[in-house]
């Protein structure tokens, strides 16, 4: 997908001409896409915003290599992919990382996907849309889990429900959200939908 | 691709959901592992749900776009000013004349203006040396003699380059996970963390970890491991032998790609010759290591404190002067060595105890005296004879045994903490390197500027632990710090581990660290023993000696 935005291209030309402050416009413009890409590709234990920051610093330091008028989005996502891969290598050197967070096979799967996905990742936007379809009660559980980082036990105590019920609801919500995102990807004929191995799971 | 049954899918969703909520048991982890290993669809589902979990976090947590923009711009500013400093530092300190001085200032001003442009153009012909990233580690050096007077230290991190071995045996570990033994006259080009090129010589590769196969280029064929162990012999003429010891290796014979299985061997008579089968004739990786029989190098320790003071009870600090490599006894901090001036809470003597540590590793000296860091806290300082120079290339290892007498479950104030820190006498409160763990009992590395690199893993509780730390310093470029905590059931290998609990990133230090601080705070007693510093893993790690 091309990203030929005249304001962005003007800012990029200004940065290449030595106007450092113009880079702020470039960052502000590309931040949502880069952040969504990194968040979707990063493994547990990685600091998404740290990788995003590295990506922009690296892009600035290599800005002379960007050809004006070409696809800046694709260019910066290549840098972001490289940053995620570097972080993966670093994390792999941490003892018990895989056994704690995920298994070798899952990690391989995520790395494979990362190498295969050459363009931006639409899942963050799709997930946002799918979240709007979740009933209020479910959204409250998700909000407590993801916004405030509460454990299942804490959520159960706050909502006066059993831990088992919260556990089950979170599991169901995650399943339904994934299905919803997959349906959206299918309707877009996105490459990720082609790769989905267990489409049709109930 | 095998599809998932509804029942398996439901089980998988439950297990992954439990994993994401940090609620899985060891048995459930095993079940998840088996499910994902057996079925790629299961691995795909797990990968999707983990990604989705990350995205849900991003969607729900507050994010300040302008703060991130500011932080990127600040990083760029700081990187530019570092380059400016480096350029200015290259100018003569004392100009020969006032005209010369003016010229220098004019040149400096011009250079400063050019820095921003320099960055934006990403010039490759810069005179400021940039260190390429390390991709491998030399983990064992047995009588290595390198060509052209090159010198590599055991433990040294290696960037992409040619390694030309004249004699001896070198064992390398690539960051991608593969391990490689080079024996005798060999020339190997390190390309990346998962790729090398053998020009000539004998090597054995073990590559049973990592998502991608290790790739080895040879004059006759590129070789890609498919979860395997193999030996390669390349003659100066280009004749190449491949011996597959385990798993499979992919090779090219003319234009076709082929796979050679375990127990088979082939030979290419020259760089362009076809492959001919030959008899398998190569030593396995473990056999090579067993034959090399790496021994401990205790004589190479540069600093040692075993707290062997032949007593049980208190020892006045001025008398605490045993060990190797120290330039004075243990002491309390002076007021200038404290951030906040207040009376020191540390006892003014060492409390030496006997037999209060379970020595699970081969440390004969570890059964003697040991230091009790008492409840209520204590901080002791001791000067080193030979500093760790962070502005020079080098490798330093540290090991120490630590036992906490109990593991408090609740967070307390003051925090339960144990640390060993290196500081500089020139600027005591400036640059420092600290290894330890705090209230969450997760091993961490802490740098003087407050940067912390913490492990996701909690250190083993209520047992003796062995800490091993590694400091890789460079004249120019990133310094690297590593920290691993071994529990009583963990075995130590002949070389440093492939994985560490905490690993640093983007650290560049330049101080000369010549003070060791031992500190313990909180309400529990801790026992510390066998503090060792040396240039190699084998000089500090309590390995067993095998005859």
pLDDT tens profile B20-30: 888 877 778 77
What local confidence, expressed as pLDDT, does residue B477 receive?
Answer: 83
Question: Looking at residue B194, what DSSP letter applies?
Answer: T
How far from chain centre, in Å, is Cα A137? 25
Termini Cα distance of chain B: 51
- In this prediction, residue B439 has a pLDDT band, given cuts at 50, 70 and 90, of low
pLDDT of residue A194 exceeding 70, the answer is no
Asked if residue B414 has a cis previous peptide bond (ω within 30° of 0), the answer is: yes
What local confidence, expressed as pLDDT, does residue B32 receive?
Answer: 81
B484 at interface of A, judged by CB pairs closer than 8 A = yes
Q: Which is higher by pLDDT, B66 or B531?
A: B531
- In this prediction, residue B485 has a pLDDT band, given cuts at 50, 70 and 90, of very high
A36 at interface of B, judged by CB pairs closer than 8 A = yes
Whether A145 sits inside 8 A of B484 (CB atoms) is: no
Which among B21, B67, B84 is the top mutation candidate for probing chain A, defined by the most A β-carbons within 10 Å of its own β-carbon?
A: B21
Average pLDDT, integer, range A119-141: 88
Average pLDDT, integer, range B68-79: 85
State the DSSP string of B6-35. HHHHHHHHHHHHHHHTT---HHHHHHHHHH
Contact B428, B337 (CB under 8 A): yes
Termini Cα distance of chain A: 33
Enumerate residues 81 to 120 of chain A having a beta carbon within 8 A of any beta carbon in chain B: 89-90, 92-97, 99-113
Q: Please tell me the least confidently modeled range out of B31-35, B397-401, B517-521, B531-535.
A: B31-35
Average pLDDT, integer, range B449-461: 83
Q: How many CB pairs under 8 A join A and B?
A: 218
How far from chain centre, in Å, is Cα B186? 26
C-alpha closest to that of B165 among B190, B179, B148, B140: B148
Question: Smallest Cβ distance to B117: which of A18, A92, A178?
Answer: A18
- Give the number of other Cβ atoms within 10 Å of residue B92's Cβ: 9
Please list every residue in chain A whose beta carbon sits closer than 8 Å to the beta carbon of residue B16: 174
C-alpha closest to that of A54 among A25, A76, A29, A33: A76
Average pLDDT, integer, range B461-488: 91
- In this prediction, residue A98 has a pLDDT band, given cuts at 50, 70 and 90, of low
Q: Which is higher by pLDDT, B35 or A120?
A: B35
Q: Shortest Cα distance from B192 to chain A (angstroms)?
A: 12
Question: Smallest Cβ distance to A31: which of B32, B44, B65?
Answer: B65
Helix B98-121 vs helix A6-16: crossing angle, to nearest 10: 150
Q: Where are the beta strands (DSSP E) in B254-377?
A: 256-261, 265-268, 275-278, 303-305, 313-316, 349-354, 369-373
Q: Shortest Cα distance from B26 to chain A (angstroms)?
A: 10
Q: For chain B, give percent helix, strand, coil, nearest 5.
A: 25, 35, 40
By CA distance, what is B1's nearest residue in A? A197
- Sign of the CA dihedral running A33, A36, A41, A42: positive
Enumerate residues 12 to 41 of chain B having a beta carbon within 8 A of any beta carbon in chain A: 13-14, 16-23, 29, 32-33, 36-37, 40-41
Distance CA B254, CA B258 (A): 10
Q: Which is higher by pLDDT, A116 or A163?
A: A163
Q: Characterize A168-183 residue by residue with b for buried, 16 or more Cβ atoms within 10 angstroms of its Cβ, and e for exposed.
A: ebbbebbbebbebbbe
pLDDT of residue A104 exceeding 80, the answer is no
Q: Shortest Cα distance from B33 to chain A (angstroms)?
A: 6
Tell me the average pLDDT of chain B: 84
Whether A57 sits inside 8 A of B72 (CB atoms) is: yes
Average pLDDT, integer, range A58-72: 89
Which among A197, A199, A200, A202 is the top mutation candidate for probing chain B, defined by the most B β-carbons within 10 Å of its own β-carbon?
A: A197
Distance CA B384, CA B363 (A): 23
Contact B205, B230 (CB under 8 A): yes
Average pLDDT, integer, range B173-193: 92
Radius of gyration, CA atoms only, chain B: 27
What local confidence, expressed as pLDDT, does residue B110 receive?
Answer: 52
B198-250 tens-digit pLDDT: 999 999 999 865 546 789 999 999 998 887 899 999 998 999 999 999 988 99
Map tokens 């045994």 to a residue: B401
Contact A20, B76 (CB under 8 A): yes
How far from chain centre, in Å, is Cα B434? 15
What local confidence, expressed as pLDDT, does residue B10 receive?
Answer: 83
Q: How far is CA B143 from CA B154, B157, B168, B182, B545, in A?
A: 11, 18, 5, 12, 18
Q: Shortest Cα distance from A1 to chain B (angstroms)?
A: 22
Q: What percent of chain B has pLDDT over 90?
A: 47
pLDDT of residue B124 exceeding 50, the answer is no
Q: Which is higher by pLDDT, B54 or B227?
A: B54
Tokens of A186: 């299918």
What local confidence, expressed as pLDDT, does residue B129 receive?
Answer: 47
B121 at interface of A, judged by CB pairs closer than 8 A = yes
Q: Give the ipTM of the model, two decimals please.
A: 0.83
Average pLDDT, integer, range A126-150: 91
Average pLDDT, integer, range A94-120: 64
B501-530 tens-digit pLDDT: 898 988 999 999 999 999 999 888 999 999
What local confidence, expressed as pLDDT, does residue B306 receive?
Answer: 93
Distance CA B481, CA A54 (A): 20
Q: pTM of the prediction?
A: 0.69
Q: Which ranges of A42-135 does DSSP label H, i.e. alpha helix?
A: 48-61, 72-92, 97-101, 104-116, 123-132
Q: Is B15 exposed, middle or buried (0-12, 13-18, 19+ CB in 10 A)?
A: buried
Whether B175 sits inside 8 A of A105 (CB atoms) is: no
Q: Is B533 exposed, middle or buried (0-12, 13-18, 19+ CB in 10 A)?
A: buried
Whether B122 sits inside 8 A of A62 (CB atoms) is: yes
Please list every residue in chain A whose beta carbon sits closer than 8 Å to the beta carbon of residue B33: 103, 105
C-alpha closest to that of A171 among B44, B57, B36, B15: B15
pLDDT of residue B286 exceeding 60, the answer is yes
B140-172 tens-digit pLDDT: 999 999 998 788 999 999 999 999 999 999 999
Tell me the average pLDDT of chain A: 82
Q: Shortest Cα distance from A161 to chain B (angstroms)?
A: 17
pLDDT of residue B311 exceeding 70, the answer is yes
A133 at interface of B, judged by CB pairs closer than 8 A = no
By CA distance, what is A46's nearest residue in B? B54
Question: Smallest Cβ distance to A170: which of B21, B455, B497?
Answer: B21
Average pLDDT, integer, range B357-366: 74
């Amino acid at each position: 997908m091309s990203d030929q935005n005249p304001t962005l291209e003007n800012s990029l030309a200004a940065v290449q001409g030595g106007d450092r402050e113009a880079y702020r416009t470039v960052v502000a413009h590309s931040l949502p896409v880069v952040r969504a890409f990194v968040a979707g590709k990063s493994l547990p234990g990685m600091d998404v915003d740290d990788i995003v920051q590295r990506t922009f610093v690296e892009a600035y330091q290599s800005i002379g290599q960007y050809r004006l008028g070409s696809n800046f989005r694709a260019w910066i996502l290549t840098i972001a992919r490289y940053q995620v891969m570097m972080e993966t290598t670093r994390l792999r050197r941490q003892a018990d990382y895989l056994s704690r967070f995920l298994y070798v096979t899952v990690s391989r799967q995520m790395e494979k996907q990362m190498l295969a996905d050459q363009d931006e990742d639409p899942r963050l936007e799709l997930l946002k849309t799918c979240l709007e379809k979740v009933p209020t009660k479910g959204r409250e559980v998700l909000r407590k889990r993801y916004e405030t980082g509460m454990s299942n036990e804490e959520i159960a105590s706050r909502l006066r429900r059993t831990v088992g019920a919260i556990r089950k609801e979170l599991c169901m919500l995650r399943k339904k959200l994934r299905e919803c995102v997959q349906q959206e990807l299918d309707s877009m004929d996105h490459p990720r939908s082609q790769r989905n191995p267990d489409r049709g799971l109930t | 691709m095998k599809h998932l049954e509804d029942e398996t899918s439901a089980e998988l969703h439950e297990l992954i959901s439990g994993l994401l909520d940090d609620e899985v048991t060891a048995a459930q982890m095993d079940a998840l592992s088996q499910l994902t290993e057996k079925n790629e669809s299961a691995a795909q589902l797990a990968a999707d749900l983990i990604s989705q979990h990350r995205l849900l976090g991003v969607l729900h947590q507050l994010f300040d776009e302008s703060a991130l923009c500011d932080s990127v711009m600040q990083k760029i500013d700081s990187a530019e000013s570092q380059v400016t400093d480096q350029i200015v530092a290259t100018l003569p300190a004392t100009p020969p004349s006032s005209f010369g001085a003016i010229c220098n200032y004019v040149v400096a001003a011009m250079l400063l203006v050019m820095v921003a442009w320099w960055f934006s153009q990403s010039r490759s012909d810069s005179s400021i040396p940039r260190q390429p990233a390390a991709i491998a580690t030399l983990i064992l050096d047995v009588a290595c003699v390198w060509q052209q007077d090159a010198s590599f230290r055991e433990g040294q991190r290696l960037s992409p380059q040619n390694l030309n071995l004249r004699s001896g045996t070198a064992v390398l570990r690539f960051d991608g996970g593969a391990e490689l033994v080079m024996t005798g006259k060999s020339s190997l080009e390190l390309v990346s963390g998962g790729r090398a090129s053998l020009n000539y010589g004998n090597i054995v590769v073990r590559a049973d970890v990592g998502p991608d196969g290790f790739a080895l280029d040879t004059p006759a064929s590129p070789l890609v491991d498919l979860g395997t162990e193999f030996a390669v012999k390349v003659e100066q003429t280009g004749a190449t032998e491949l011996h597959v010891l385990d798993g499979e290796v992919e090779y090219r014979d003319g234009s076709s790609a082929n796979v050679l299985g375990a127990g088979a061997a082939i030979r290419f008579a020259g760089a362009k010759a076809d492959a001919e089968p030959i008899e398998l004739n190569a030593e396995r990786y473990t056999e090579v290591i067993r034959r090399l029989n790496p021994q401990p190098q205790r004589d190479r320790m540069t600093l040692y404190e075993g707290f062997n003071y032949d007593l049980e009870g208190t020892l006045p600090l001025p008398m605490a002067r045993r060990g190797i490599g120290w330039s004075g006894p243990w002491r309390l901090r002076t007021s200038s060595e404290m951030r906040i001036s207040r009376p020191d809470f540390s006892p003014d003597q060492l409390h030496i105890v006997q037999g209060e540590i379970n020595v699970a590793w081969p440390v004969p000296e570890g059964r003697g005296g040991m230091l009790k860091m008492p409840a209520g806290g204590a901080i002791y300082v001791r000067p080193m004879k030979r500093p760790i120079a962070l502005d020079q290339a080098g490798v330093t290892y540290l090991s120490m045994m630590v036992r906490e007498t109990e593991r408090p479950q609740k967070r307390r104030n003051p925090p339960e903490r144990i640390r060993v820190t290196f500081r500089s006498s020139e600027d005591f409160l400036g640059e420092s390197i600290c290894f330890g763990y705090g209230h969450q009992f997760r091993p961490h590395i802490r740098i003087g500027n407050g940067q912390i690199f913490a492990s996701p893993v909690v250190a083993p509780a209520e047992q003796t632990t062995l800490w091993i730390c590694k400091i890789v310093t460079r004249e120019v470029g990133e310094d690297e710090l590593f920290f691993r905590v071994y529990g009583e059931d963990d075995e130590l290998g002949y070389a440093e581990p492939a994985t560490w609990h905490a690993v640093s990133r983007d650290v560049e230090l330049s101080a000369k660290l010549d003070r060791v601080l031992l500190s313990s705070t909180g309400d529990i007693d801790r026992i510390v023993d066998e503090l060792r510093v040396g240039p190699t893993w084998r000089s500090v790690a309590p390995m067993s000696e095998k005859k």
